[in-house]
Amino acid sequence: MPIVKYPRATEPLWHEWDGKAQKCGLRHTVYAVNGDQYTGEWLDNLKHGKGTQVWKRTGAIYSGDWKFGKRDGYGSYSIPDPITKEYKKVYTGWWKNDQKCGYGVTFYPGGERYEGEWSSGLRSGWGRMYYSDGSIYEGQWLEDWPGGQGMLRLPNENRYEGGWKDGKKHGPGKFFYLDKGQLFEGIWAADIPKCGILIDFGRDEAPAPTQYPIPKV
């Protein structure tokens, strides 16, 4: 009886090439079609672990944690200065699902800075904002605006303590006119005081007190 020999099945070359192309673990720089580049760790062809991404169109850089292809964990985001081309840090802190989430610090143009909590890429929770005119707001935030209870201190040390809504004074609050030695306590709506009481407060120490004290009722 003749012996029939069957040729050994050979695995197609593309199987080998495809296996080599699968990205898992630490890889050197991988370039996307649009010119973006990523250097770091992978899992099942997704950025996962520690890595650095450079976007070609904007020149922005993210360096930090990734989870299944998205920024997730702790990392920093920087952009190049349009004039000097030197990199300036924009945000350093926690991320979730490719958005700022948790505690982080953001640097704005003009020297403004926010330190506090984020949710879904917006300032939400507790935070402190340093404005370019020297004012400082410290308190609660809601969807990128002061919302809840907070204090705004002005450059001349006058300050407001009380409720906020959509970035404006709203609800019960106190405004300390420390330059004049007066205190206004009342109700606010959309940044406008609706009713309240104005009394002398630290008038003797005030740098520019009013000519006459407020008479007691």
Inside any domain, residue 121: no
| H or E element, residue 15 | helix 13-21
Domain residues for 186?
129-216
CA distance 77 to 28: 20
206 and 157 co-located in one domain? yes
135 and 101 co-located in one domain? no
pLDDT for residue 118: 98
142 and 192 co-located in one domain? yes
Please say whether the dihedral angle defined by the alpha carbons of residues 204, 209, 212 and 215, taken in this order, is positive or negative. negative
What average pLDDT does the chain have? 89
User: Looking at the 3D structure of the chain, how many domains does it have?
Assistant: 2
Residue 186: give its domain's CATH number: 2.20.110
Inside any domain, residue 41: yes
Inside any domain, residue 114: no
Of 73, 107, 141, the position where a domain reaches its end is 107
Inside any domain, residue 18: no
pLDDT, tens digit, 9 for 90 and up, residues 157-179: 999 999 999 999 999 999 999 99
The tokens describing 51, both together, are 């890595």
pTM of the entire predicted model = 0.82
| H or E element, residue 20 | helix 13-21
How far is the CA of 154 from the CAs of 50, 130, 141, 175, in angstroms?
A: 42, 11, 18, 11
